[in-house]
């Protein structure tokens, strides 16, 4: 095999994006049998199964490599068309980015407004935990991600962004109801707020105090703003992003569980190694904004 046929590669991408062979056929304006034949031919050419025939279909590990290549090819093609002045069909550059909810709710959206308007960029944002965003890069679903991992995904480059700071906090009433001695004794048994099943910040914080995880009495609140509000309402304690916590601490709606103690999460920007102008411009903008919004990483 010397090359991957472009029509077959794009067909695979369409099947993954649309979820079924029939939907991909409609999007490509061909018959379902033509889609099936292209995928079969591509799999035979590569010698590997590329799709799991589920509903919706899912790429295999090998399929993820081809999907990522297909998206990169589409991005380069679109960028070349814009440089050549062929913008009628390509339209604005579409950048898919995975970002964690707390960044999205605090510093990330204001950063995107700094991207020069003349760059004609449309953003497609995927909200995911910072420990999981790199997986979307591996799958080829996004072109860039804010992640907690400094290890580069294959075919990607990494830039440090900074430290996202979290403050352990609760409502004054919650503390009055649950405090019985030193923090390390009562906090492991107190009700806690978590973002979702991937959220381990509270457990890690408790383990830094005592040999235990946070309580099994957990309220799962899968939005950053909702998490903050649940802590302020007294449903449980939690690690609240510093930009969200400070106003509530100043107003008295929240109190710090251990004044002066915080929990930092390192954040990095990972993106495809592509010479695409829009992607480079956004990366520079995000890196600059993060330097202002986040705490510096240790040197």
- First vs last C-alpha separation in the chain: 46
Residue 299 pLDDT: 78
In contact, 46 and 66? CB cutoff 8 Å: yes
pLDDT at 1: 44
What pLDDT score was predicted for residue 82?
A: 67
Beta strands 255-256; 156-170: pairing state: antiparallel
> Rounded to whole angstroms, what are the CA distances from 58 to 49, 214, 281?
11, 35, 32
pTM of this structure:
0.79
| β-pairing verdict for 144-147 and 93-99 | parallel
pLDDT of residue 23: 92
- Residue 61: what pLDDT? 84
What residue spans of the chain are helical by DSSP H? 6-18, 21-28, 32-46, 61-83, 101-103, 109-112, 133-138, 172-178, 183-186, 201-209, 224-233, 242-251, 277-293
Instruction: Report residues of the chain scoring pLDDT below 50.
Output: 1
The pLDDT of residue 209: 94
Cα 94 to Cα 282: distance, rounded to the nearest angstrom: 11
Closest CA to 5 of 79, 58, 66, 51: 66
Report the candidate in 171, 289, 175 with the shortest Cα–Cα distance to residue 240: 171
CB 163 within 8 A of CB 266: yes
Distance (Å, whole) CA 93 – CA 76? 10
């Amino acid at each position: 095999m010397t090359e991957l046929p472009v029509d077959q590669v794009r067909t695979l991408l369409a099947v993954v994006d649309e979820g079924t062979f029939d939907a991909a056929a409609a999007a490509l304006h061909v018959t379902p049998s033509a889609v099936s034949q292209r995928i079969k031919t591509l799999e035979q050419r590569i010698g590997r199964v590329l799709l799991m025939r589920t509903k919706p279909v899912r790429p295999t590990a090998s399929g993820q490599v081809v999907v990522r290549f297909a998206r990169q090819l589409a991005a380069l093609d679109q960028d070349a068309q814009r440089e050549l002045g062929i913008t009628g069909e390509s339209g604005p550059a579409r950048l898919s980015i995975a970002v964690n909810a707390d960044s999205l709710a605090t510093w990330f959206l204001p950063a995107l407004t700094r991207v020069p308007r003349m760059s004609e960029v449309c953003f497609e944002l995927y909200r995911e935990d910072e420990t999981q965003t790199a997986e979307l890069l591996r799958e080829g679903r996004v072109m860039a991600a804010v992640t907690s991992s400094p290890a580069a995904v294959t075919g990607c480059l990494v830039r440090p962004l900074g430290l996202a700071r979290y403050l352990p906090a609760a409502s004054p009433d919650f503390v009055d109801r649950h405090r019985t001695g030193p923090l390390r004794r009562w906090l492991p048994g107190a009700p806690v707020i978590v973002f979702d099943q991937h959220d381990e910040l509270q457990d890690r914080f408790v383990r830094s105090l005592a040999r235990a995880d946070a309580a099994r009495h957990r309220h799962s609140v899968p939005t950053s703003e909702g998490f903050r509000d649940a802590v302020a309402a007294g449903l449980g304690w939690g690690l609240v992003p510093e930009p969200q916590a400070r106003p509530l601490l100043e107003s008295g709606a929240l109190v710090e569980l251990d004044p002066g103690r915080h929990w930092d999460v390192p954040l990095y920007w990972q993106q495809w190694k592509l010479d695409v102008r829009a992607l480079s411009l956004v990366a520079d903008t995000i890196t600059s904004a993060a330097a202002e919004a986040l705490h510096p990483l240790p040197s």
